Amino acid sequence: MKRAEPAIKRFSAYLKRRNYAAHTIVNYTLDLRLFFADQTAAPAKITYREIDAFVDKQLEQGLAATTRNRRLHALRHFFEFLLEEQEVAGNPVKASHFARLGRPLPRALSKDQVEALFAQVKHPMDKALFLMMLRGGLRVSEVVHLKRQHLDFDEGAVWIEQGKGKKDRRVLVSADTVASLKACLELRPKGVPCDAVFWNRKRPLAPLSVKAVQKKMERCARAAGIEATCQQLRHTFASNLLEHGAELVTVKELLGHASMGTSERYARVSNQRVKQEYMRTMKKVLKDNKI
């Protein structure tokens, strides 16, 4: 530990010069001292074998993957610093030392949560823009850039121009969304920029921003006593379709995903709910049918 302490102090000073957050510097310093507490060799003598042993010890202690990875990031950054200072010949922390972190599954809103949320939506424009995410699966950025010429009420469809990944797509929307859009347009003031469907209610001549929509969502969710985001409305759209028998390829096209893999994450959510329903029902079956 003593052999590494001078280098750790210089590394901490380096992080301060680079304007790293105070809590990051503190955590990195603690993580480095934790590692070197069990080492007798100087930093220049540390190899991947010592890192292997450190990872194994963390696993035995049952530490979360995020904690293990944070400590490894501290070590890797520390040895990168020493490499630049020409105090070590290489970095002993390899990519294989890090734990793979699974991407969290999309979290859809329940039926009760959706009802509670929309009960707090008072203005017709706000209802229409939230419905575009819930019934059409639009991203919030796509909602704010929607123009009147993109609406096709006869076909019950919306054209999304230059969405994420520069991929245009046609989205079908439900009858209640069409009705809500029509009610919204009846209140639309003159002079809304770029012929946008939705407008900034406080400053009608200014464009509606993504942040403003997110703030609307925060206020309505707080009033409803739930946690909800604009992205969750999009998740809910996908989950509802899959749970009611829609094909995965259809969901992919409606959401504008570039690959099937992204859409498959929504299918995993649906499958989880099927499993939960199976387990709940099977408990009743087993209770009544002893074998």
pLDDT number for residue 31: 92
- Distances 223 to 120, 121, 231 between C-alpha atoms, Å: 7, 10, 18
> Encoding tokens for residue 179?
């009705």
pLDDT at 166: 58
Instruction: Give the number of other CB atoms < 10 A from CB of residue 42.
Output: 14
**Pairwise CA distance, residues 234 & 230, whole Å:** 7
Side-chain-side CA neighbours of residue 118 (13 Å):
20
Greater model confidence, 242 or 189 = 189
Q: At how many degrees (to 10) do helices 65-84 and 22-36 cross?
A: 90
Q: What is the pLDDT of residue 125?
A: 94
Task: Check whether 57 has a pLDDT greater than 50.
Answer: yes
Whether the model pTM is above 0.85 = no
Domains belonging to the chain, first-starting first, are: 5-97 (1.10.150.130), 111-279 (1.10.443.10)
Q: What does the pLDDT read at residue 287? A: 64
Whether the pLDDT of residue 251 is over 60: the answer is: yes
Least confident window among 59-63, 83-87, 251-255? 251-255
The residue that leads in pLDDT, 83 or 269, is 83
How high is the pLDDT of residue 262?
53
pLDDT at 162: 63
CB contact at 8 A, 142 and 151: no
Residue 274 has pLDDT above 70, yes or no: no
Sign of CA dihedral 223, 218, 146, 194: positive
Under the banding of pLDDT at 50, 70 and 90, the label for residue 255 is confident
Is the predicted pLDDT of residue 81 greater than 70, yes or no?
yes
**pLDDT, tens only, 123-176:** 999 999 999 998 888 889 899 999 999 998 988 888 887 654 556 778 888 888
Residue 259 or residue 24, greater confidence: 24
Residue partners of 79: CB distance under 8 A and separation at least 6: 43, 46, 88, 91, 92, 93
Share of the chain above pLDDT 90, in %: 35
Between residues 239 and 116, which one has the greater pLDDT?
116
Q: What is the mean pLDDT of the chain?
A: 82
What would the pLDDT profile of 209-224 be if each residue is shown by its tens digit?
Answer: 999 999 999 999 999 9
- The pLDDT value recorded for residue 235 is 85
